[in-house]
Amino acid sequence: MSTNWNLLHEKVSHHLQAIYVDVVIKTPVGELATILLQKMRITKDEDIIVSAAHNNYWDEGDIVMITYGDSITNEQERPLFTLLRFLHTYCKNSINNVHILPFFPYSSDDGFSVIDYSSVNEALGSWDEISRIANEYGLMVDLVVNHCSARSKWFDNFIKGEGPGSDFFFTADPGDDLSQVTRPRVSPLLRETQTAEGTKYVWCTFSHDQVDFDFSNPDVLVAFVDIIRLYIDKGTKIFRLDAVAFLWKVVGTSCINLPQTHEVIRLIRTLVEHVDPSIILITETNIPNRENLTYFGNANEAHAIYNFSLPPLLVNTLVTGDCRYLKSWMMSMPPAQNGTTYFNFIASHDGIGLRPAEGLLSDEEISTLVHTMQSFGGKISWRASAHGQQKPYEINITLFDALQGTANGPDKWQVDRFICAHAIMLGMEGMPGIYIHSLLGTSNDYEKVANTGQNRSINRRRWDYGELETLLDSPHSQHHKVLTRMSQLIRIRKAQPAFHPNATQFTLQLGNKLFGYWRQSLDRKQSIFCINNISDEEQAVLLSDINLIGTDVWINLITREEITDVGGFIQLKPYQTLWISNQDIE
């Protein structure tokens, strides 16, 4: 028997003891650990992979494109095939990882109410198409771990009181003290459900079609480990743990970020890294910044966490022309230790979350941002506060339209402002995630909002491939301009060692109209000064303020212009970016 297997079994048992410390479970912890290892096909007879916690399984070349399986369609082919064709045609030299949002059969929430975790939605394609994409790109897949569809077989069995799933769901009593529960929605928390065993009240964090699992039942954990192994077999390299902060519930608490939730993530980390050390876990925790940071653990939980505070702070910066809050936040962010990194994004299939701006922007500033976005055609989604008040939870708008102007109204700088936002993100410490509609410069889809009645639909347009192709090939269209400039920035970024996700980052003090930071490669050979004019007026940067070393040759990587006077100044146009480097790497 492998000694490594025994040590791994002991480690898994330790995780399980911590998870179920307050729960009486039928299966002994040691036996449960054996079951989980069997589900992951980690056997006693094989050499056990020993993973190093502080290895970086990513570099400056990693860019993730976020998309639905049917964001682009063609009547003649399955959407997943069309997606692959789009990637080949327009993204071959820029994108190397693809996050396909839930591609399983579902009943609501555009895929996040999963009916069957083990199959591909036939309207999109099959596992064959998924495998083709996984063979050419790093595949990122959602593990929708907090809840499933009320139309799933598991929930049918819960209602019947028999079969797999009959005891998978969390219930509470309407008389319980639920006043502390953190809610991302304003819908009632409990769903009254008639079952074979009488009336039960099922916990629904998000909607009554999304019924929450009860992870205090180990069978739920076993089922999800089975699912994880299936996704690995299908080529998954990155797991996005959806809404994972809500996973463990204890009545009388906030039911968010509980210790057992963190321990479940540590367990999943232990299991997947002993199958393939290069598999990455990313936690999707749309919560205040301080709480979000805890999901790194001690390099033993998430490999990456969503940098949720970045979208509201960056949009606020660009519409106010004032970077003080973005700068303060960046200075407060701890460097991610090796083996962990930030997952940076500024647009997603959801919207611009406002909870991660709490404590970073005042209520008044958030209110101003909300009103500005509404004036640009944005919608607002609400949540219930602890005192029953409705508070803005999320701004629903395409990023392209969110940056169409400033707090004073729309202006002529929309494309430049939009590119500036991405230049800031692409240069920052962390791995960039770019929503497909940001690559395409997509505007608000009001027709889809009207058809679905859902605010989030505004940023979930479904493009016809032929129409999109015409626009992308037209030099005068916003879509061509955006894709061309975005692709250029991405290609430059991918070649720079100083843009490694874990390279050193230092915030520059250049006033409130210029947002800047310095990056240095891990081998300390390359430095890049990233300076961005975040205002609608020209700004001068004094090169003496950033202390360029006079013996080095400095070049602006974006324009290819050499900096000849390191003691002079450069005039920046509105929303212009400089990437000043001492190494000319193309």
Q: What is the pLDDT of residues 114-147, one digit of tens each?
A: 999 999 999 999 999 999 999 999 999 999 999 9
Q: How far apart (Å, rounded) are the C-alpha atoms in residues 99 and 101? A: 6
The parent domain of residue 427 ranges over 64-96+132-138+272-499
List Cβ<8 Å contacts ≥24 apart for 10-18.
11/270, 12/36, 12/37, 12/267, 12/270, 12/271, 15/263, 15/266, 15/267, 15/270, 16/218, 16/267, 18/259, 18/260, 18/263
- Given 452, 482, 499, which residue is the final one in a domain? 499
Integer Cα distance of 169 and 9 in angstroms: 28
Apex 452 CA angle, 74 and 67, nearest 5: 45
Domain shared by 469 and 532, yes or no = no
- End-to-end C-alpha distance for the chain, whole angstroms: 51
pLDDT single digits (tens) 491-531: 999 999 999 999 999 999 999 999 999 999 999 999 999 99
Q: Which helix (H) or strand (E) holds 493?
A: helix 478-494
The pTM is what?
Answer: 0.96
Same domain? For 471 and 515 the reply is no
Decide: residue 114, CB within 10 A, 0-12 exposed, 13-18 middle, 19+ buried: buried
Structure letter (DSSP) for residue 443: P
- Residue 52: per-residue pLDDT: 67
User: Is residue 44 domain-resident?
Assistant: no
What per-residue confidence (pLDDT) applies to 173?
Answer: 97
Domain boundary among 436, 464, 499: 499
What b/e readout covers 414-433, taking b as 16+ CB neighbours within 10 angstroms?
bbbbbbbbbbbbbbbbbbbb
Q: Which residues are annotated as a binding site?
A: 109, 147, 240-242, 349-350, 456
User: Looking at the domain assignment, is residue 294 inside a domain?
Assistant: yes
Residue-wise pLDDT tens digits, 65-119: 999 999 999 999 999 999 999 999 999 999 999 999 999 999 999 999 999 999 9
Instruction: Output the domain CATH number for residue 372.
Output: 3.20.20.80
Residue 487 located in a structural domain: yes
Residues 514 and 454 both lie in one domain: no
Question: Residue 241 gets which letter from DSSP?
Answer: E
For residue 565, the model assigns a pLDDT of 87
Provide, for the chain, the percentages of residues in helix, strand and coil under a 3-state DSSP scheme, each rounded to the nearest 5. 35, 20, 45
Q: CB 382: neighbour CB atoms within 10 A?
A: 15
Confidence of residue 10 (pLDDT cuts 50, 70, 90): very high
Tally Cβ neighbours within 10 Å of residue 451.
Answer: 10
Question: In this predicted model, what pLDDT tens digit does every residue of 380-438 receive, in sequence order?
Answer: 998 776 666 788 889 999 999 999 999 999 999 999 999 999 999 999 999 999 999 99
What is the band of 1 on the pLDDT scale with cuts at 50, 70, 90? very low
pLDDT of residue 462: 97
How far apart, in whole angstroms, are the C-alpha atoms of residue 205 and residue 200? 16
Beta bridge partners of 67: 100
Amino acid at 124: L
pLDDT in tens, 34-69: 999 999 999 887 667 766 678 999 999 999 999 999
Query: For position 186, what pLDDT does the model report?
Result: 82
Instruction: Give the pair of three-digit tokens for residue 82.
Output: 């069309």
Residues 351 and 433 in one domain: yes
Same domain? For 388 and 433 the reply is yes
Other Cβ atoms within 10 Å of 46 Cβ, number: 11
Contact 419, 486 (CB under 8 A): yes
Task: Determine the Cα–Cα distance for residues 314 and 216; give it in Å rounded to an integer.
Answer: 39
For residue 559, the domain's CATH number is 2.60.40.1180
Look at residue 508 and tell me if it is in a domain: yes
Spatial neighbors of 571 by CB under 8 A, at least 6 apart, are 538, 539, 540
3-state SS assignment for residue 97: strand
Q: Is residue 432 located within the same domain as residue 369? A: yes
Give per-residue pLDDT as tens, 223-259: 999 999 999 999 999 999 999 999 999 999 999 999 9
The answer on 537 and 436 residing in a single domain is no
List beta partners, residue 99: 66, 140
Q: Are residues 543 and 482 in the same domain?
A: no
Verify that 495 and 519 share a domain, yes or no.
no
Q: Does 492 share its domain with 509?
A: no
Instruction: Quote the pLDDT of residue 387.
Output: 67
Residues sharing a CB contact under 8 Å with residue 494, sequence separation 6 or more, in sequence order: 60, 61, 63, 94
Per-chain mean pLDDT for the chain: 95
Closest by Cα among 531, 546, 527 to 585: 527
Question: Do the strands 341-344 and 198-203 form a parallel or antiparallel pair, or are they unpaired?
Answer: unpaired
DSSP string, 242-284: ETGGGS---TTS--SS-HHHHHHHHHHHHHHHTT-TT-EEEE-
Residue 72 lies in a domain: yes
> Which residues line the annotated binding site for substrate?
109, 147, 240-242, 349-350, 456
Q: DSSP per residue over 286-339, as a string?
A: -S-HHHHHGGGTTTTS-SEEE-TTHHHHHHHHHHHT--HHHHHHHHHSPPPPTT
Residue 296 lies in a domain: yes
286: tokens are 């749309």
The verdict on residue 49 lying in a domain is no
Domain count, the chain: 2
Query: Does 167 score more than 80 pLDDT?
Result: yes
**Are both 486 and 574 inside the same structural domain?**
no
From residue 192, give the alpha-carbon distance in Å to each of 159, 229, 384.
Answer: 11, 34, 20
Residues carrying an active site annotation: 242
What CA–CA distances, in Å, run from 185 to 353, 457, 463? 13, 17, 29
Of 499, 526, 550, which residue sits at a domain end?
499
Q: Are residues 548 and 438 in the same domain?
A: no
Q: Is residue 199 part of a domain?
A: no
